[in-house]
Structure 1
Amino acid sequence: MSDTVSEYEIETVPDQDAFGADGPGGLPPEEPPAPVVAVVGRPNVGKSTLVNRIIGRREAVVEDVPGVTRDRVAYDANWSGRRFTVVDTGGWLPDSSGLAAAIAEQARLAVDLADVVMFVVDATVGATDVDEAVVEILRRSGKPVVLVANKVDDVGAEADAALLWGLGIGEPHPVSALHGRGSGDLLDAVLEALPEPAPAETFEEAGGPRRVALLGRPNVGKSSLLNQLAGEKRAVVDAVAGTTRDPVDEMIELGGKTWRFIDTAGIRRRHRENQGADFYATLRTQSALERAEVAVVLIDTTEPLAEQDLRIISMVIESGRALVIAYNKWDLLDEERRHYLEREIDRQLHNARWAPRANISARTGRHMEKLVPAIETALEGWGTRVPTSKLNQFFADLVNSHPHPIRGGKQPRILFATQAGVRPPRFVLFTSGFLEEGYRRFIERRLREEFGFPGTPLDITMKIREKRGKRK
């Protein structure tokens, strides 16, 4: 294979496993979850216009009609190098009914789950009875509040903004969301109100515990599992689906090691279908997955595999994290259900057959001792590196015994391969042409047969050769 490679320009892929700027394992240090800033206020005070100004693009719907924004919508934002999530909410009428009441409830949830609240008031109108009612709710929440005096388009209107001191929640920040006036000073104030950012985490910090996210749709037993592992009741357990809304980190001693378990709110449906607290729960669940090294996905074996189960597993695979599937409530199964469950697993989880499996009962503690070995197996596969010499011998044998099908009179070949990194294992194939998706799936299957890689997705990419004579 080396003689063939020498005819072409091969771009060297650096060994990203070296400790350096990217941190251990070829992955950058993990950033903590972005804090949440909720933008609330009565209808038609310019909340969506302000959100567009903050995020630097026109995404929030803006119309000069009260109540255009009905649902809370989240956007990624950045100011002075600090990331945060800004949530646009519908107009808040505390004593409303019908649709307006639903909008008000979503605004209340935004306040409950936000780190900082931006309370927007129309300075040209002044503080209304509705504004003062909202202020009382904000005071009871105990959350930091940044008062925004909007529609201050010129110096002459600043006197109107000063009158808002009378609301008693601190300094009003005069801005014109439409024209951008004062927005920089406002965002500086928001950053000051945000909690201090946690230090970025890196994989396998010296002496640091490995991080495990507990994922699953609502009411599959995540909090029960956490309590069982901890040996005491730490997480709230309730038969009502969706009791847990925020990730809860727990340091737990298991198998002679300390692990950091992140209990997360159950994932229900896609963002646009989520209601109320589930919207924020999904945001925080994704953050928990980003912070984790391995995800334990709980499946309720007493119910058929659901679309949500498959989507959560796909989320883990797409994130590149190690994966363990825990089949909970195993003690409740009869022989017939076990038979059908095995068939469901074989048919529907074909893309994750490599994931270690543990059949457990979080309620009774049955077979809990199988969970830690499964997690350790997945983490080991996640960090597996194959020596380049072995890898290229493997591909030489593979190409000789199972060459790529001829397409259009040409047969693409694998000229050289290298493993670019781990966590998850990443492979770069230098080829003489495009490899079809079916052949790439075949390559992945054979890589797993030869080298294992239990519990980890594989990232396989191509670099198609370029003859020197054809380069511009």
Structure 2
Amino acid sequence: MTRRDAVTEPVETAEVPVPQGPLPVVAVVGRPNVGKSTLVNRILGRREAVVEDVPGVTRDRVAYEAVWNGRAFTLLDTGGWDPEGEGMAARITAQAEVAVTAADVVVFVVDATVGATDTDEGVVRVLRRSGKPVILAANKVDGPSAEADAAALWNLGLGEPHAVSALHGRGSGDLLDAVLNAVPDAPAESFDEVDEVRRVALVGKPNVGKSSLLNKLAGEDRVVVDSVAGTTVDPVDELLVLGDREWRFIDTAGIRRRVREASGAEYFASLRTAAALERAEVAVVLIDASEPLAEQDLRIISMAEESGRAVVLAYNKWDLVDEERRESLDREIDRQLVQVRWAPRVNVSALTGWHVDRLVRAMDTALEGWSTRVSTGKLNSFLGELVAAHPHPVRGGKQPKILFATQADIKPPRFVLFTSGFLESSYRRFIERRLREEFGFAGTPIELSMKIRERRSRR
């Protein structure tokens, strides 16, 4: 297999050049189920975009960074484009049109085995009006016998059809060469050093309003929203300016009851949601305030806590909550969310925008707690007074003591207790609770570990 037959992990194996300006943007568009996400995965050299042999798996525009032949570029995967679509199909099409507007080059993918359909011709008319360079990819050309099908696509009037097989990699190298040759030359730009953009993962069960909240924060429809649960499949990154600062929001797929119960696209989307949580700094867990807390909500909160991210609990759909529901919700929180009392709580309505401005303050509080460090002197002085007032209970004639303590890390805060014996879990929880009362740590999990120093016997 030659270089031009397949793309082999360009992002991970190629030396990525330091960009001198914004990366060129390449949008991959086409009607549903022509293999756009498969082609994106082929270009990236890894299974990043969710792929399933069902139309409409990709719904939002999703950005990835890729490299080919020493040149870096941003690759936009889009949902199936149907100019005549209605409902969710129309919203997916709107996202594809936004991607074309943002792109420097458009890769138009057509299924060569089917040929040009009326939908394809409708997309072509929109692409011509955009004025953007368009590269025609005739997909599913798995061998020489299918090249005649690709040649028939000349009648679309977009120039030479590039015969490719996204599944097997055939012709993908030539396609990428043509794409990058079509990128307009741009003057190099220099950028001053900027502050790090904080990363936020929006997580929650399906249909809780994650995409609606993201659109409300952005002030425009950035991602597809529908009343059907599971509209978002791929994690979607969006840069938003909130409180005079940039934030990178990651809208994720709704997490199902059990990953092992999911299949196909749902399974891979669940894995990508977990990966999105890992690369975030703060997790905003959305909970439907109008419904009783579900097992899914508790599991997602535990996942965010165990990942070591800062955590904010956002109770969405507050416009649907009456006085009776508020009282029952307070009881549910007191009974079921004892382990995350430290997480800031925000009541919001993604539909009306009520109190969404308070989300930034809650995230700042959580991130501040996540980064808090206590000096060793203050920590040991505090623990000395605490242990003197509330010593560990005597067990088996022995009373373990805390000899020394230090904060080993932040993000999240990790403490190591050097002890003369094993500390019971109830006593460790007591220490954590008092640490929070003394030093804050709002919005962040705390990890306490022990190092037991056994006494050496005298000879």
- Scaled by the length of structure 2, the TM-score of the pair is 0.61
Q: Is the 8 A contact 2:204 2:285 kept in 1?
A: yes
- Paired-residue identity, %: 64
Please, which of 285, 293, 301 is the counterpart of residue 281 of structure 2?
293
Change (3 A) 1:352 1:83: farther
Instruction: Report SS of the residue matched to 2:386.
Output: helix
Superposition pairs of residues 187-266 of structure 1, within 5 angstroms: 207-266=195-254
The residue number in structure 1 matching 2:427 is 439
Deviations 1:196-244 (A, max 9, x none): xxxxxxxxx9512100010111111111100110011111110000001
Please, which of 323, 333, 341 is the counterpart of residue 329 of structure 2?
341
Deviation at 1:275, TM superposition (A): 3.1
Instruction: Say yes or no: does 1:452 pair with 2:440.
Output: yes
Q: Is the 8 A contact 2:112 2:140 kept in 1?
A: no
In the aligned structure 1, how far is the partner of 2:141 from the partner of 2:454?
57
Name the aligned partner's letter for residue 447 of structure 2. D
Q: Is the 8 A contact 1:381 1:455 kept in 2?
A: yes
Deviation at 1:467, TM superposition (A): 4.0
Instruction: Say yes or no: does 1:374 pair with 2:350.
Output: no
Instruction: Say yes or no: does 1:400 pair with 2:411.
Output: no
Deviation at 1:332, TM superposition (A): 1.3
Instruction: Report SS of the residue matched to 2:357.
Output: helix
In the aligned structure 2, how far is the partner of 1:339 from the partner of 1:376?
28
Change (3 A) 1:170 1:364: closer
In the aligned structure 1, how far is the partner of 2:140 from the partner of 2:454?
58
Superposition pairs of residues 285-364 of structure 1, within 5 angstroms: 285-364=273-352
The residue number in structure 1 matching 2:264 is 276
In the aligned structure 2, how far is the partner of 1:373 from the partner of 1:441?
27
Superposition pairs of residues 24-39 of structure 1, within 5 angstroms: none
Deviations 1:121-161 (A, max 9, x none): xxxxxxxxxxxxx9959xx9x799999xxxxxxxxxxxxxx
Name the aligned partner's letter for residue 217 of structure 1. K
Q: Is the 8 A contact 1:109 1:277 kept in 2?
A: no
Q: Is the 8 A contact 1:328 1:362 kept in 2?
A: yes
Q: Is the 8 A contact 1:324 1:355 kept in 2?
A: yes
Q: Is the 8 A contact 2:198 2:281 kept in 1?
A: yes
In the aligned structure 2, how far is the partner of 1:213 from the partner of 1:143?
36
Superposition pairs of residues 405-444 of structure 1, within 5 angstroms: 405-444=393-432
Instruction: Say yes or no: does 1:386 pair with 2:374.
Output: yes
Instruction: Report SS of the residue matched to 2:287.
Output: strand
In the aligned structure 2, how far is the partner of 1:437 from the partner of 1:264?
34
Deviation at 1:368, TM superposition (A): 1.4
Deviation at 1:278, TM superposition (A): 1.5
Deviations 1:53-83 (A, max 9, x none): xxxxxxxxxxxxxxxxxxxxxxxxxxxxx99
Q: Is the 8 A contact 1:237 1:243 kept in 2?
A: yes
Instruction: Report SS of the residue matched to 1:410.
Output: coil
Instruction: Report SS of the residue matched to 2:312.
Output: strand
User: After TM superposition, what 4+ stretches of structure 1 lie above 2 angstroms from structure 2?
Assistant: 82-87, 105-115, 134-137, 142-147, 164-171, 466-470
In the aligned structure 2, how far is the partner of 1:441 from the partner of 1:145?
59
Q: Is the 8 A contact 2:311 2:444 kept in 1?
A: yes
Higher RCO (Cα < 8 Å, 6 or more apart): 1
Change (3 A) 1:432 1:145: farther
Aligned residues: 314
Deviation at 1:405, TM superposition (A): 1.1
Deviations 1:309-342 (A, max 9, x none): 0011100110000000000011211100100001
Change (3 A) 1:297 1:111: closer
Change (3 A) 1:440 1:467: same
Q: Is the 8 A contact 1:214 1:264 kept in 2?
A: yes
Please, which of 410, 424, 449 is the counterpart of residue 461 of structure 1?
449
Q: Is the 8 A contact 2:285 2:314 kept in 1?
A: yes
In the aligned structure 2, how far is the partner of 1:293 from the partner of 1:226?
17
Name the aligned partner's letter for residue 302 of structure 1. S
Change (3 A) 1:208 1:449: same
Deviation at 1:277, TM superposition (A): 2.2
Deviations 1:89-117 (A, max 9, x none): xxxxxxxxxxxxxxxx96558997999xx
Q: Is the 8 A contact 1:111 1:143 kept in 2?
A: no
- Scaled by the length of structure 1, the TM-score of the pair is 0.59
In the aligned structure 2, how far is the partner of 1:270 from the partner of 1:425?
29
The residue number in structure 1 matching 2:134 is none
Instruction: Report SS of the residue matched to 2:392.
Output: coil
Q: Is the 8 A contact 1:109 1:276 kept in 2?
A: no
CA RMSD of aligned residues (A): 3.7
Instruction: Report SS of the residue matched to 2:378.
Output: helix
Deviations 1:405-441 (A, max 9, x none): 1111111110000000100000000000111111111
Question: Which runs of 5 or more residues in structure 2 are unaligned?
Answer: 1-43, 65-110, 115-119, 121-136, 148-162, 177-192
Instruction: Report SS of the residue matched to 2:428.
Output: helix
Deviations 1:380-417 (A, max 9, x none): 00000011111001111111111111111111110000
Name the aligned partner's letter for residue 309 of structure 1. D
Q: Is the 8 A contact 1:385 1:422 kept in 2?
A: yes
Name the aligned partner's letter for residue 298 of structure 1. L
Q: Is the 8 A contact 1:292 1:321 kept in 2?
A: yes
Change (3 A) 1:85 1:417: farther
